[in-house]
Structure 1
């Protein structure tokens, strides 16, 4: 992986991680177009630059994480409860998840089906009752956490799964989106830490790769800051339908490329 390729992939990660469009699906397309060799470092890089993206959430919502008051402990407890299903499922089914990650057709199909769902989701949940994250109780947080587990299927999108789960639990669109951002912090931090732990020998043997990781995280951080603000504004104005159409186009593009014999590597 070259520096230019690392920057492009980091831009893709920052743009798509918090949008309901699947960062995995987009990195498949971009990596293939760039001709990036899917070696062990590339796979590690694509996970570890999530750290930059989640730091964008912490900075944008720093009061939620660092201004301590009587509600702050409840906030952290709810995040802990909500992340538990993903941690347990990720540990128990890691081998199955890795096998699914090797199937670009799975990504194309889930992008397409998820896009169809997003076309109708605004009409399914029209009477939300939870308009602040303080009103989310532990059982609601846990249920949203189970929805997030669906995103372990490549192409589903962690953001889409957790936001839809939140709306199903009577959260408004904006609150569901923001809680999805908050939930991303422990979820992605755990995934990144686990990946670094597994790849520590590779990084120690190739210290020059650390520069690519640093650049990737910085770029992902800056781009994610912009993407999060854009997504919240777009939700207020347009809802999810525009993202549904977008997912359908990308999903069909991946499926079409596979049917035409184009080799996509994950």
Structure 2
């Protein structure tokens, strides 16, 4: 008997401790569930508020989108009308450009034809010019030959200064030959008795003329000096030196007139000064 009471006393505290532990766990679970439920409730409340706000924003955005779509539709219509007008203008402009290009092409074709004709004409002219040049060369060669022959036929006469010989012209034809020879300058003159006349860069004065004997007396004024040529003959070279660098000048009288006049020419070196009115 005493043994059984000992056993009962030993097992009762064990069952009480387990029950208390279960109760504690249940209480803790209940408290945790309450805390979790409260927390979840708060979260749900916040989420619902956020969702409501999001729905409001979506509604606002949807309204703005509808308004934007309406404006875009209007703008699209206006743009379509504007593009339609621009297209018409572009078509008109394109037609103008095409017409101008066609006209330009036609002008170009005409110009090319004209150019071809001109080139053909120029080629023909060039051929003619070549022929003419050949003829001119032939004529020039002949002229040079004739000039050489004419020069060789001129008379060379000694002048009155240091017996210097020179070719003289006895008439207008021979004077032209000398001019074409090109090595001197020639100034023709006609003087009357008592007349002092500038010839080239000198002055001449006829003092006396004897047509019967073809003689004359002439005074020459050059570089502030005077040269007397007394009783000289027709076609006689009358020579003197003149100029800054003294060079040989020459006077030839070709004829003595019945009215106390003489005609002839003055010959000067190619590099001698020329009178102001002679280029």
Which TM class, normalised by the smaller chain length? under 0.3
More strand by share: 2
Higher relative contact order (CA 8 A, sep 6+): 1
TM value normalised by structure 2: 0.16
More helix by share: 1
TM value normalised by structure 1: 0.17
